[in-house]
Amino acid sequence: MPTVQQHFTKQKHGLGSFPVFFLSLCTLQGALMILWLGHAIGHLGLIGAIGMVGLAHLITIPTAMAFSEIATNQKVEGGGEYFIISRSFGITVAVPIGVMLYIAQTILTAIYLITFSRAFKPFFDYLLASPLNIYVYDYRVASFPAFLLLTFLLLRFGSEVLLKLLYLTVPLMIFGYGLFLSSQPADRTELHFSELTRQIDNPLDFFTVLALCFPMFGGMTAGLSFSKKLDEPRRSLPRGIIGATVVGFLGYLVFIFKLYMIAPLQELVNNPLVMADKTPFGVEILFVLGLVSTLSAASSFLMASRTLQALASDRVLPNLVWDRWLSRINREDASNPLPEHAIQVTAIAVFLALLYNDMPSMLEGTSILLCLTFGSICMISFLEHFAADPAYRPLFRTRWYISLAGAMTCIFAMINMNLRLSLTALVAMVFIYMVVNRYQSRKQGLSVIFQGVIFQLSRTLQIFLQKARKEPDIEHWRPSIICISTHSFERVAAFQFLRWISHKYGFGTYIHLIEGYLSKETHRQSKECYQQLIKISDATHSNVYIDTLVSPSAAAAISQVIQLPGISGKENNVIMFEFSKSNPEGLSSIAANFQLVRATDFDAIVLGSSDRNFGYHSEIDIWITSNDYENATLMILLGYIILGHPDWSNASIKIFAVYPENEIMEQKQNLMELINSGRLPISPSNIELIPKKENVDTKTIINQKSKRADLTIIGIRSEAVKHSGEAVFMGYDGIGDVLFVNTKTMKSLR
């Protein structure tokens, strides 16, 4: 027959799942349950106590599943929960959580040592009733010796202490709880529906009781104390932790019904040792209380020490001497490395917590800190699910909505348990984050997860838009402009224009062209230019998408750019070129490739920039002629979109219509018909009609009328560009920046 120890261990040197399961279960169904579960039933009633257990497990079950998922993706090294958080969220984010976790584990160690002393209550009562008449008013006379002995044993044997205690505790706990559950009910023999919600007089509210009892439910990760001794942690941890959490949940329900049946509500509140009093002999429950308190205290003590050692190993403190000293590990026993210095510092912290000795406030503070930690672990699992990182391949997978529910329930519970304490803990975490962020160089982690989430969301939306795409209603047309330029760092006008278009109503993509063949050198150059443009975009708070392109010629670049997908999920529909009016060296290339654009469905715009750099952003002039009515709607639309940017908030638009002097009445009538039919979305009062004499050039009129305009928008015909080439864009020296517009189809805008 196999022994208990053979069940706990495998044929190899490592441990199996049973130690993780039983250590977590002993913590869940241990000292705090014995002392506080009856207290909860008395204040909340049977239904209320079941509701409290249910709400708590809406946190602990998702946390156990989330932790198991993350733990099966990476080795759980020293620090347990902290290690997982730091390697997923990044050190700067994990350190504040790790500090809160360390404080919670330290306080829990003191709480378990205090509960250990409660097992001596019958003995202290005997001393008072005996001829010696000794009154023990401070039960810590038992806690402090236990604390000193536990510190010595952990410094000497490490996690071996847990294993030996587990061999003693599990059989005794099964025996003691079995006797209690098999005892006959003394207060009730049957349940009445009308009594299920009955409470004591002047009960505590639901969330106050939850704050006092939540540490009872938070012990499912106690099995992490064996993480360094497990043979297959990726299998043992999920099995042990999830198994203990589920069995613990069912156990709580059984004990709630039993306690409700075995004693009056007032006695459940007034007598913490009611389980011992209602069990035959009773001493076995006291032994269980003493042993599980010691076991849980040792587990929390060791986990707190390993958390502190892991924090120091990550060099999070400004003082490297302290980091090195705290992170030092005694490796004399390779199978049981001990963080000796961290144990010593944690012992001091536990001693101070024992001196405080205010059990209700310690339990409430621990509840808040545990909710912070558990919520963080659930949020990691939730984000990792959507980030879809190829490096994240856990053997066990939970569901994203389960992790999200756990995180949201943590927030809900914290707010209702103690809002002031929750905010204080959050402020402390922010302060720690700021301090660590100042000294810590390894700052990646959270940003990587969020980037992954955004990438996956963007991909999903793009695919959805592609599958659902149909030709947009022409009345809802909006510009999606792609600009190509080789002078990104000499002229900023094109980027500025795209920034205004992309502010709200349109979309803009800016391509910096590097002429040449793709090589190691041009690739390096493109990366450098890309980073510089990203900095410019960030500094100007633009919504323009930035990219670079290496191409041997302008024609080849235009052919590639036209085929690029739109960044918004909407196809690009306008291509933009730019040149300098004072140095139009690239204008011939624009004119030569203009027909290439016309071969597609793209509209084309050409920006001629001047030294005025859009002046004072106060006036936009739009020019309409009888030869380019089809361009008018796009010109007007672009003008109004630009006015939507804060830079042009005080600007106005002027619209001029130029016609030959002998055709003015006929053209005016045609213009009014276009306006009345809605093909030109303007009011007749906003248009100034200008008759043109035969010997006067249109360019001359524009130079005179728009010399003070900050941007002038002019329509051009593709036939004119084909026959006259770059001359179409020349001759506007009297005005500032000019935008030439050519549309393939007239837009019908309301």
Question: What is the residue-wise DSSP string for 173-194?
Answer: HHHHHHHHHHSPPSS-SS--GG
CATH number 3.20.20.140 is the correct assignment for the domain at 18-448? no
Residues 6+ apart with CB under 8 A from 546: 510, 512, 530, 533, 534, 537
| Mean pLDDT per 10-residue interval, the chain, length 750 residues | 47 69 89 92 92 95 87 61 73 83 93 92 83 82 92 86 87 91 72 76 92 91 75 80 92 92 89 88 87 91 88 75 79 68 92 90 92 86 76 78 93 92 88 78 63 74 66 67 90 91 88 90 92 90 90 87 76 89 86 84 90 90 81 86 89 85 76 68 73 82 90 90 88 92 75
- DSSP string computed for 407-422: HHHHHHHHHHH-HHHH
Query: pTM (2 decimals)?
Result: 0.70
* Whole-number Å distance between alpha carbons of 700 and 734: 9
- Give all strands (DSSP E) within 92-207, no chain letters: none
Q: What angle do CA 228, 234, 237 make, to 5 degrees?
A: 70
DSSP string, 242-294: HHHHHHHHHHHHHHHHHHHHHS-HHHHHH-TTHHHHTSSSSHHHHHHHHHHHH
Rounded to whole angstroms, how far apart are CA atoms 158 and 309?
Answer: 14
Q: What is the DSSP letter of 84?
A: H
* Strand ordering across the sheet containing 619-625: 545-551, 507-515, 480-485, 574-580, 603-609, 737-742, 711-715, 619-625, 652-660, 687-692
Q: Are strands 711-715 and 507-515 parallel, antiparallel or unpaired?
A: unpaired
118 contacts: CB under 8 Å, gap ≥ 6: 35, 139, 272, 273, 289
737-742 and 603-609: which strand pairing?
Answer: antiparallel
In DSSP terms, 713 is beta-bridged to: 622, 739
Angle between the N-to-C axes of helices 400-417 and 31-71, in degrees from 0 to 180, rounded to the nearest 10: 140
**CATH 1.20.1740.10 domain span(s) along the chain:** 18-448
Distance (Å, whole) CA 61 – CA 338: 31
Amino acid occupying residue 473: D
Are residues 541 and 645 in contact, defined by beta-carbon separation less than 8 angstroms?
no
Domain(s) labelled CATH 3.40.50.12370 in the chain stretch across 476-742
Instruction: For domain 476-742, give the CATH number.
Output: 3.40.50.12370
Helix, strand, coil percentages in the chain from 3-state DSSP, rounded to 5? 60, 10, 30
Q: Which tokens belong to 245?
A: 């959490």
> Mapping DSSP to helix (H, G, I), strand (E, B) and coil, where does residue 696 land?
coil
- Determine the Cα–Cα distance for residues 354 and 145; give it in Å rounded to an integer: 12
Query: Cα–Cα distance between 729 and 358 in angstroms, integer?
Result: 84
Query: Chain-centre distance of CA 621, in angstroms?
Result: 47
* The total number of residues written for the chain in this structure: 750
Phi-psi region of 445 (alpha: psi -120 to 50; beta: other; left: phi over 0): left
Can you tell me the distance from the alpha carbon of 24 to that of 236, in angstroms, rounded to the nearest whole number?
12
Which phi and psi angles does 504 have, rounded to 5°?
A: -145, -50
Which pLDDT does position 284 carry in this prediction?
87
Residue pointed to by tokens 């390993």: 306
Q: List CB contacts of 511: < 8 A, sequence separation 6 or more.
A: 482, 483, 484, 485, 547, 548, 549, 557, 561, 564
The first and second tokens of residue 520, run together, are 């190691």
CA distance linking residue 510 with residue 492, whole number of Å: 11
pLDDT of residue 1: 43
> Cα–Cα distances in Å, from 369 out to 54, 340, 364, 529?
20, 25, 9, 47
Q: Which two tokens stand for residue 596?
A: 């290439």
The full DSSP string for 495-515 is: HHHHHHHTTTT-EEEEEEEEE
143: tokens are: 């806690």
pLDDT in the model for residue 9? 45
Beta-carbon contacts of 390 under 8 Å, excluding residues fewer than 6 positions away, are none
Tokens linked to 123 = 């003995």
| Terminal CA-CA length for the chain | 88
- Cα–Cα distance list, 362 to 28, 32, 104, 553 (Å): 18, 13, 9, 73
Q: Which helix (H) or strand (E) holds 209?
A: helix 206-217
Give the DSSP letter string of 20-77: HHHHHHHHHTSHHHHHHHHHHHHHHHHHHHHHHHHHHHHHHHHHHHHHHHHHTTS---
